Amino acid sequence: MKVFLVVIAFCVVSFLATGQVVKFRIEGMVLDTVSHKFAYLTTLSQQRTISSDKLFVMAPIKNGRFNFEGEFELNGEFYQNACLFFDKRANISKKEVASKFYNLIWVVGRDENLKQIILEDMNIKLSAGNIRDSMELLREGKFTKQLKILSEMKKTPKGLESFIAMFPDSPVSFYSLEGIYEAYIDRNFERLLRDVGEPYAMFNLLSERLKRSEKGKRLKENMDSFFKK
């Protein structure tokens, strides 16, 4: 029994030391196999806060299908954003992609050949060359589903506040609030307060798990520093 407890304790310590690991399986169907011969998946981005050079993989498209499967250590994050793109070339390097993002030659959300996704299980269908607008999700992970719900709710006044109330324990709620806090710093405070909501009210809607996390504590400290100065 003592040996069993020691093993369990060792596993717990090892988990805490290495952090949470997310498993993902991203597969899909591509109809245009003339211009799309290889699929690329990377955690690189022009957005410094969510970018990571730890993942850069290529998969050949065979009979119109491709597949990515693996694990990613989150290192204190709740989930990881990634970028999906397709090309004729099989020799695109991580260095080349990093340079394009760094010099803003590629910008996720602007360029039609790039699609930002969350690193989780999903099945996609691409019917045209414009992956940004034409990618269809045949099966999606829970965070991707929540982002779609949030996108619709944000079209209404204080939609984010309503979303957080609906999903208080979701990382999507936390990251959205974190992004709004940063917007309060840089933009029209009064307009955001009216249209989006009061930051502390939204923070208090979060679950205790998120509020007590290291990221939650840091956000609260940053909010206190900005709003109570």
Q: Give phi and psi for 79, each to the nearest 5.
A: -155, 175
Please give the C-alpha separations between residue 75 and each of 26, 37, 81, 155, 171, in angstroms, as whole numbers: 21, 33, 13, 32, 14
pLDDT at 7 > cutoff 50: no
Residue 19 confidence (pLDDT):
52
Radius of gyration of the chain (CA): 20
What pLDDT band is residue 133 in, cutting at 50, 70 and 90? Answer: confident
pLDDT at 3 > cutoff 50: no
What pLDDT band is residue 208 in, cutting at 50, 70 and 90? Answer: very high
Residue 17 confidence (pLDDT):
34
Torsion of CA 76, 58, 112, 96, to 10 degrees: 80
Higher-scoring residue by pLDDT: 18, 228 = 228
What pLDDT band is residue 9 in, cutting at 50, 70 and 90? Answer: very low
Residue 169 confidence (pLDDT):
97
Residue 196 confidence (pLDDT):
78
Q: Give phi and psi for 78, each to the nearest 5.
A: -90, -30
Share of the chain above pLDDT 70, in %: 86
Read off the pTM: 0.79
Residue 174 confidence (pLDDT):
95
Higher-scoring residue by pLDDT: 33, 60 = 60
Task: Give strand pairing partners of 167.
Answer: none
Residue 13 confidence (pLDDT):
36
Q: What is the mean pLDDT of the chain?
A: 85
Exposure string over 68-96, b if 16+ CB within 10 A, otherwise e: beeebeeeebbbbbbbbbbeeeeebeeee
Q: What would the mean pLDDT of 45-64 be, rounded to a whole number?
A: 86
What pLDDT band is residue 34 in, cutting at 50, 70 and 90? Answer: confident
- How far apart are alpha carbons 156 and 170 in whole angstroms? 20
pLDDT in tens, 154-178: 899 889 999 999 999 999 999 999 8
